[in-house]
Structure 1
Amino acid sequence: MTDKLTPSDPARIGGHRLLARLGAGGMGVVYLGRAESGEPAAVKVILPEYADQPEFRARFRREVAAARRVDSPWAVPVTGADPDAPAPWLATAFVAGPSLAEAVATCGPLPPRGVRILGRMLARALTAVHDAGLVHRDVKPGNVLIAVDGPRLIDFGIARATEETALTSADMVLGTPGFLAPEQARAQPASPASDVFALGCLLSYAATGRPPFGTGAVDALLYRTVHDEPHLDGVPDDTRDLLERCLAKDPAARPTAREVDETLVEDTPQDSVDWLPDAVVRLIADRSAAMLALPDIEATALDAGADGQPAEGPADTPVTTGPSGRRRFLLLGGAALIAAGGGAALWAARRDDGTASGASSRARRWILGVQADLTGPQKTLGQAQERGIRLAVEQFNSREDKPFTLTLKTADDRGDATRAAKVARALATDRDLLAVIGSTGDETTGASLDSYDEQLVPQLTASSAQSVYGVSEPRHFLQAVPGYTSLPATAAFSLRTQGVRRVAVLIDRDGGVPAWELGRTMFQNLGVLKIAGQPRVVPRLAEDLAAVAAEMVAHKPDGFVYMGTPARAAAVARALARTEFNGPRVLGYPAAGPEFLTAAGTAADGWQIFAPYIDPSATPVRAFATAYRKRYGSAPPYWAAEAYDVARMVITRLTEAGGRPSRNRLYDLLAKGTYKGLVRTYAFDEKNRSWLKGYEVFRYEVKGGRYSYAGKVAF
């Protein structure tokens, strides 16, 4: 997956002609380049603001030395580097295949034999790393690329010799939560055994499609890694015992990488992909073609034959039938593009980036997608958002001066992650789709990210507020809602204005990621405001929350916060009502559903909610509410106005583009612009463009058995 070069990008680095961007990180940019020999390469360049800092340059110099010391067919080799250049750079062989994270997210878990073969080849790569006196320290699905001839372990950016120490204290905990060892989570030095632990996590992910310690908030992942047993349901029996040993909390109890290789009794295929499912083979071929068939590439000696004409392969290359023949045909197609370097016609044939291909853009549909839970557990929210988006599209299409007609295409994921990934793949492959709004919940949003990202489809969510999704970093995702970690600041400030000086914070793990992120951040913000916090975390299996609440109140707090579920919130509310506690009570908004009001009864009165959604009767959205009622015959529910806003923002950017934009172009317009909606002003953070920069928070208080709107909170 590539992005176009920006005007500020260099044209050449170290003899490499730069063709596209592969990605960007905290320290630098990685480009797809072509060496003077014609070979493709991944060229990592340090950002100018870091190049003059001795510690960063030293770290990069160490990375170059580390990568050069590793000798394995399953690790990408260094092809060139200059750590002392004004813009330090490192080039490695380019692997034109998907990452393991993308392959599993798109095609599902690998079969048992595939897991064994993958494990054996990566164990051999790690053996080479460790034999070179290094520790990789960031073995994860995103750092394993699946190529035509097998996997490649990449990114030695934080690899370090076993005897070296960290450069800075901030450098002590490095790696990816969910795929790092308990000792790394405790900020202790990593060892080869730490890489083996990470390999166990990676193979569990390959076998089941999920990390063994789950996903979600970083500190929650670190806690589970240190204290909880891994979730290995679905791991094949013939590898489960080995993975349990790899995932031992004690580093001394883990096997070495060489022992993992010897334990996985499986023949390693030579120049074959028969160990991979057909869907992954197709993905490898598609990715090879899409990433390398770039238009308008300057010719090199490799591109031309002796007469200066494009080189051609044998005209009579045989194509066999059956699975092996079909796989070979797919891969030969990708390999031909790699050898030829590609051209504009091949690019248009292989990949659609929202531009016309063989037909006028006027003949194409302009499609806005909606993925939502329309019939599952969050159907009330999902239906409200789908209706709000539909209203925005219908209003636009009714304009006489509209520059195009917009078609709405909906997909019901039923609130199920497996189905969410499936419907996302189907929507994303529609060449006329320009953007998608959805999904409704955190889990379904996370499950759909990779499918849209692979096809460069801008994805916006108006209701999923999680801070971390899955195992890969989405590059075409915009979270058009304040995150769970941003809302508590407003709530904490409001509590201070109400005179609160000591707050009991009850975090219920039954509420999942929302409860954890809201509760943890609430406690942190109380500390910033010099308000004493009394935190308590209860496990999912805890039954008597009434006793917990009563015990917390006995410590005489003058404020109480609960983050969890509606049903268990009701139990807490009833318990507080039986005590003498009469201070401010705050309920996390995911728990503020109708069930809380019904189950808590009169005990619900007085509880405050700080939410990212506006009341549909509020003045700023009154015209929207009138139009909604006229269209659908009822008042809009919560969240409908937010979805309407996001749809109008997308439509505005499409109109401003002055013609049909590519998906990349539309994403840039959305991410870099500012849009003033009815509910809030939408602008996205410059460093992490998926996050909403600012936020508006709205306060509610339960009065007379209903949520009474108290207005926008000033902060």
Structure 2
Amino acid sequence: MARLGAGGMGIVYLARTAAGELVALKVIRSEHAGDPHFRARFQREARLAAHLRSPWVVRVTDADTESRAPWLATAFVAGPTLAETVATLGPLPARSVLVLGRRIAEALTDLHTTGLLHRDIKPTNILLDRSGPRLIDFGIAWGPATTTLTTPDAVLGTPGYLPPEQVHGDSAGPASDVFALGCVLVHAATGRAPFGTGNPAVVLYRTVHEEPDLDGLARLPDPARATIVRCLAKDPAQRPGTAELRDALHRTGALTRPGPRPSRTGEPPGSRPPLPDPRLPLAHLPSPAPPQADGADGADDWLPPGVLRLIAAHAARALDPPPRADPPAHEEGGPRETAEGSGEPEKGPEAPDSTRRRFLAVGGTATAVLATGVIGAALALRRGPGDGPPTRTIALHGTDTEEQRGAELAVNAHNSRSGIRFRLALTALDDRGRPAGTEAAARRLIADQAVCAVLGPASGTAVRAAGPLYAAARMPMVLVSSTVGELPPGSPQPDDPSTTCVTRIGDELLGMPLAYYLTGTRPSRRTAVIEDEAGGTVATELAAGFRDQPPVGGTATLHPVAAHDDIRPAVAQALAGRPQAVVYAGTSPERAAACARALAAARFTGARLTIGPVMRPAFLTAAGAAAEDWVFASPYTEPASMTTEGARAFTAAYRARHGTAPGPWAAEAYDAVNLVARALEALGGGSRATRGRIVDQLFRTTLDGVAKPVRFLTGQDHSFDPTHTAFLFQARHDRFEFLGRYDRLKPVRRGPVRH
């Protein structure tokens, strides 16, 4: 019925049994299914998991470990993950955290008693339901005395939730799961991972050597807080057992149980409240019977109304699966990636697949009910004015004037076309340039169900703050002028693909157009690179690129300078090699200007080059006359100076609306909106185009835009294809003059270089 996710071990699908029960069907990848050792371990996992009886672990309903494509089916829980919930609504109330911790501790007690360790407890592996949380994903679960389900040198688990002993390579035990649960509870209570996010290696270092960030945990009662803090002890022996953790949270939870809610709709006090939004298709339907509980912690009303609304929305979307495409024929059963990347399971020709097919059957009657009920209701809520096409809203995270103007032109151009299947709307939200404002803006946009994609934020700092929130909520985040940098949004794992769609070349790759210039436009057989360590990894990557692949197959010398040192000695050392070109590998306009002045003082007349972050008025001011003729590789274009038909039309429309030429990033934002529109068009434009599906479609979409071609490389990280997407400018007469796309420049003739 639909693809729910994928990991290193297999692909998970939403399926329906012959009896009509929704299940999550995990099908093992063919490269693992052919490994007899892996198959034996998978059989053991399925057998042990089938004996789990905790109501807080998703129930294994069936499995076929002998099939050519082994599979395991578990009960489907339509609720959101804890990660999405916190990203959308912020930290959970204290009492919700206590119930969450107690229930997952109960689940772990059952898991460990059975002989399994989970080993990947994290917010994305916990689903929330009205009756309680559910622990999912046993993809890397294994017993303490068994071999792992992955390669011998792999690190099992997720940085930020991985205990120190596993980082060191020591064996895991029940205390390892307790550590991860402690991290999860801190995340639920504070909205932040206790060891931060970002570069996985940095997060692992913090986990081993630094204390956790517990700011905000004080709102929990003292006994519970103290027990959760013990879960994060570096020494496994100092952590509480799962039973001790369960009992501590239970005692505290009983003391904090709220009294009956006042009746507002005539229901008896203390009864389950109705779902707050009756317009949702499933809001009036009864939920599945909750697991039997002792009721001591009042788990029947353990979640606040906002989370109940989110659960109802997920339940509605679960009954709106995408139409199944006909998969290509293949000699082997099991899931296959189609040209569109749908990854639908295919039917194999042999009998063993018959057990799998019984889970993939969807009755025609059920399909008809869905089409006329849920889908029809969803479309009715999204209709535009009158009987026109539905309206899909794109949000601009931030208030960059040029990006907003470019996006507005794209929206207007789309809506003016005849025969469109959907209209576009644009909304903008100011994050006030502060991390707290960025997170608040992201949560508002995530909570607005009308928003199908976000453009921005426009700064790296804002991306680092908002990225994990958007990733957890599966909100498409289309970056126009900023990049991800060192942060993988939400530290995405193979089963948690990034929702970040970068549409520009990274600064660290801008050495490529500079090398192209020094090869075809102004050849340099001897190139000197001033590596300014103040530029961080960008400077390091630029310098390494020239060192490994010098222009024209010549030589390149590197001359590093410490972040706070005078740059002039490095320039003098570089000139001693009589280079034909000097490249400033750094990001500081002021330090680049110091380099320019030093070269001018030495009367150097060769090519002088650097990258976009330096191309600021501050460089022209600080360098003065020494700035003349410097060449810059830029990730954005100047459409008013381009000669293509699309650029001319865009510039004319921009001038007509604003009375001036478009500035940096206007054309790129125009292209970004058109990229989203093209993805929506491929999905039909209606309610089927959910946020998650838009994310997947974006990376399969190509666009020959006004500014540049937009394409993505195949692979797990969906990297932007930087080919033909950079532009060159040159400092002339106290301004930056557009030269053109780097691969379209003609050779220039220059006299011999003076040193």
- Under a length normalisation based on structure 1, what TM-score does the superposition of the two structures give? 0.72
Asked if 1:116 is matched to 2:98, the reply is yes
Alignment deviations for residues 412-463 of structure 1 (CA, whole Å, 9 cap, x no partner): 233432332244136x423xx6655444345655766788889987653323
Q: Give the C-alpha shift of residue 129 in structure 1.
A: 3.3
Which amino acid in 1 is paired with 2:666?
A
Structure 1 residues 84 and 590, CA gap change in structure 2 (3 angstroms): farther
Q: Give the C-alpha shift of residue 150 in structure 1.
A: 1.2
2:709 is matched with 681
Inter-partner Cα distance in structure 2 for 1:56 and 1:173 = 17
2:180 is matched with 198
**Contact 1:296–1:344 at 8 Å: present in 2 too?**
no
Indicate which of 370, 380, 396 corresponds to 1:371.
396
Asked if 1:482 is matched to 2:505, the reply is yes
Indicate which of 75, 85, 100 corresponds to 1:93.
75
1:462 is matched with 480
Asked if 1:697 is matched to 2:714, the reply is no
Q: Give the C-alpha shift of residue 42 in structure 1.
A: 1.1
1:285 is matched with 312
Inter-partner Cα distance in structure 1 for 2:532 and 2:235 = 32
Asked if 1:614 is matched to 2:637, the reply is yes
Asked if 1:629 is matched to 2:655, the reply is yes
1:328 is matched with none
Structure 1 residues 211 and 705, CA gap change in structure 2 (3 angstroms): farther
Q: Give the C-alpha shift of residue 92 in structure 1.
A: 1.5
**Contact 1:295–1:342 at 8 Å: present in 2 too?**
no
Q: Give the C-alpha shift of residue 55 in structure 1.
A: 5.9
Asked if 1:420 is matched to 2:437, the reply is no
1:219 is matched with 201
1:546 is matched with 564
Q: Give the C-alpha shift of residue 101 in structure 1.
A: 0.4
Structure 1 residues 296 and 56, CA gap change in structure 2 (3 angstroms): same
**Contact 1:368–1:407 at 8 Å: present in 2 too?**
yes
Inter-partner Cα distance in structure 1 for 2:677 and 2:529 = 44
Give 1:540-619 correspondences, 5 Å limit: 545-547=563-565, 570=590, 574=594, 589=612, 593-594=616-617, 609-619=632-642
Asked if 1:385 is matched to 2:403, the reply is yes
**Contact 1:645–1:678 at 8 Å: present in 2 too?**
yes
SS of the equivalent of 2:478 reads strand
Alignment deviations for residues 158-187 of structure 1 (CA, whole Å, 9 cap, x no partner): 123223345665652122223223444455
Q: Give the C-alpha shift of residue 652 in structure 1.
A: 5.5
Which amino acid in 1 is paired with 2:505?
P
2:252 is matched with 266
Asked if 1:663 is matched to 2:663, the reply is no
Inter-partner Cα distance in structure 1 for 2:371 and 2:681 = 27
2:279 is matched with none
SS of the equivalent of 1:636 reads coil
SS of the equivalent of 1:145 reads strand
SS of the equivalent of 2:195 reads coil
2:138 is matched with 156
Inter-partner Cα distance in structure 1 for 2:167 and 2:425 = 45
Structure 1 residues 501 and 340, CA gap change in structure 2 (3 angstroms): closer
**Contact 1:384–1:636 at 8 Å: present in 2 too?**
yes
Structure 1 residues 671 and 578, CA gap change in structure 2 (3 angstroms): closer
Query: Which deviates the most, 183-192 or 228-237?
Result: 183-192
Inter-partner Cα distance in structure 2 for 1:470 and 1:589 = 27
Indicate which of 412, 426, 430 corresponds to 1:394.
412
Which amino acid in 1 is paired with 2:741?
K
Structure 1 residues 490 and 208, CA gap change in structure 2 (3 angstroms): farther
Q: Give the C-alpha shift of residue 87 in structure 1.
A: 1.0
Q: Give the C-alpha shift of residue 385 in structure 1.
A: 0.9
1:10 is matched with none
Inter-partner Cα distance in structure 2 for 1:412 and 1:571 = 35
Which amino acid in 2 is paired with 1:546?
H
Structure 1 residues 94 and 127, CA gap change in structure 2 (3 angstroms): same
Inter-partner Cα distance in structure 1 for 2:245 and 2:707 = 55
Inter-partner Cα distance in structure 2 for 1:235 and 1:601 = 53
2:232 is matched with 247
Structure 1 residues 418 and 210, CA gap change in structure 2 (3 angstroms): same
**Contact 2:384–2:391 at 8 Å: present in 1 too?**
no
**Contact 1:366–1:434 at 8 Å: present in 2 too?**
no
Q: Give the C-alpha shift of residue 222 in structure 1.
A: 3.2
Structure 1 residues 445 and 606, CA gap change in structure 2 (3 angstroms): same
**Contact 1:216–1:468 at 8 Å: present in 2 too?**
yes
Which amino acid in 2 is paired with 1:470?
G
**Contact 2:502–2:719 at 8 Å: present in 1 too?**
yes
Which amino acid in 2 is paired with 1:175?
G
Structure 1 residues 219 and 578, CA gap change in structure 2 (3 angstroms): farther
Alignment deviations for residues 130-153 of structure 1 (CA, whole Å, 9 cap, x no partner): 344443221110001112221122
Inter-partner Cα distance in structure 2 for 1:148 and 1:295 = 26
Which amino acid in 2 is paired with 1:75?
V
Structure 1 residues 281 and 293, CA gap change in structure 2 (3 angstroms): same
- Under a length normalisation based on structure 2, what TM-score does the superposition of the two structures give? 0.69
Inter-partner Cα distance in structure 1 for 2:146 and 2:572 = 50
Which amino acid in 1 is paired with 2:310?
L
Give 1:54-203 correspondences, 5 Å limit: 54=36, 57=39, 60-61=42-43, 63-65=45-47, 67-68=49-50, 70-166=52-148, 169=151, 171-186=153-168, 189-203=171-185
- Listed as ranges, the gaps of 5+ residues in structure 1 are 1-18, 298-338, 375-381, 539-544
Inter-partner Cα distance in structure 2 for 1:578 and 1:293 = 65
Alignment deviations for residues 555-591 of structure 1 (CA, whole Å, 9 cap, x no partner): 9799776666x5xx63686489679999998766456
1:317 is matched with none
Name the larger-Rg structure. 2
Which amino acid in 1 is paired with 2:670?
Y
Give 1:6-45 correspondences, 5 Å limit: 19-45=1-27
SS of the equivalent of 1:363 reads coil
Identity of aligned residues (%): 39
**Contact 2:12–2:25 at 8 Å: present in 1 too?**
yes
Structure 1 residues 520 and 170, CA gap change in structure 2 (3 angstroms): farther
Alignment deviations for residues 667-700 of structure 1 (CA, whole Å, 9 cap, x no partner): 6664434221132222233444854344422344
Structure 1 residues 180 and 189, CA gap change in structure 2 (3 angstroms): same
**Contact 1:232–1:240 at 8 Å: present in 2 too?**
no
Q: Give the C-alpha shift of residue 464 in structure 1.
A: 3.6
Inter-partner Cα distance in structure 1 for 2:49 and 2:573 = 56
Alignment deviations for residues 73-127 of structure 1 (CA, whole Å, 9 cap, x no partner): 3222322222221111011222221110011111110122222322222233333
Which amino acid in 1 is paired with 2:231?
C
Inter-partner Cα distance in structure 2 for 1:59 and 1:713 = 53
Alignment deviations for residues 580-619 of structure 1 (CA, whole Å, 9 cap, x no partner): 9999987664565445655676787787654321234542
Structure 1 residues 294 and 373, CA gap change in structure 2 (3 angstroms): closer
Q: Give the C-alpha shift of residue 389 in structure 1.
A: 1.7
Inter-partner Cα distance in structure 1 for 2:685 and 2:130 = 39
Structure 1 residues 651 and 702, CA gap change in structure 2 (3 angstroms): same
Alignment deviations for residues 517-537 of structure 1 (CA, whole Å, 9 cap, x no partner): x4575577567659888989x
Q: Figure out how many residues of one structure are paired with residues of the other and give that number.
A: 627
Query: Which deviates the most, 679-688 or 101-110?
Result: 679-688
